[in-house]
Amino acid sequence: MINVLFFAQVREQLELSNLLVAATEDLQTTNDLRLHLSNKGDKWANALASDRLLVAVNQTISQWDASVQDGDEIAFFPPVTGG
């Protein structure tokens, strides 16, 4: 299983902080996982739009082509701004 975590506005939009997803051959990258979840409906597609989202694999900021494996922790969160 892949443990998927959602933070900040993503968590608020989905009304969900985490989700377990079965690791399958179709889910090879973080973008594959994002697209898989986006197909759950409009709310998911809006919350997981890649142009306003960051991803981390096992607590390390990653790119959208990063590999995903069974047992990984994947976190989706918006960019952090400060000032």
Mean predicted lDDT score pLDDT of the chain: 94
Please write the tens of the pLDDT for every residue from 24-49.
Answer: 999 999 999 999 999 999 999 999 98
Task: Please tell me the predicted confidence (pLDDT) of residue 19.
Answer: 96
d(CA 49, CA 42): 10
User: pTM for the whole thing?
Assistant: 0.92
- Report the SS3 class of residue 26: coil
Phi first, then psi: what are they for 63, rounded to 5°? -95, 170
d(CA 62, CA 44): 20
Taking phi over 0 as left and psi of -120 to 50 as alpha, with beta for the rest, 13 belongs to alpha
Average pLDDT over residues 4-10: 95
Task: Please tell me the predicted confidence (pLDDT) of residue 41.
Answer: 96
- Report the SS3 class of residue 7: coil
Average pLDDT over residues 52-81: 94
